[in-house]
Amino acid sequence: MAAYCMSKSALNMLTLKQKAERPDLTILTMCPGWVKTDMGGKEAQLEPEESVSGILKIATSVTNADSGKYLRYNGEVIPW
């Protein structure tokens, strides 16, 4: 579990660094939520379709002002 958590922290830092280095791009990190998959398990809260639908909505509506943010599948900002 430690390596998984560390990889997510590294991804968030990469997002911030890329925002600074490439202001012409919109860079995001997204959390798909707790999804009913092999990894999430049967007790997870979201069906895959709900997660994907939310991610697509966010990905097609963000602006450069959102660059560097860590967002949930439903658009909430996740502080880290």
Place 7 in a pLDDT band, splitting at 50, 70 and 90.
Answer: very high
Note the pLDDT of residue 80. Answer: 79
Banded pLDDT at 1 (limits 50, 70, 90): confident
User: In 3D, which of 50, 10, 58, 56 has the Cα closest to residue 34?
Assistant: 50
Average pLDDT, the chain: 96
What average pLDDT does the segment 5-10 reach? Answer: 94
User: Would the pLDDT of 36 be above 90?
Assistant: yes
Q: Which residue has the higher pLDDT, 1 or 63?
A: 63
- Read off the tokens for 71: 């967002």
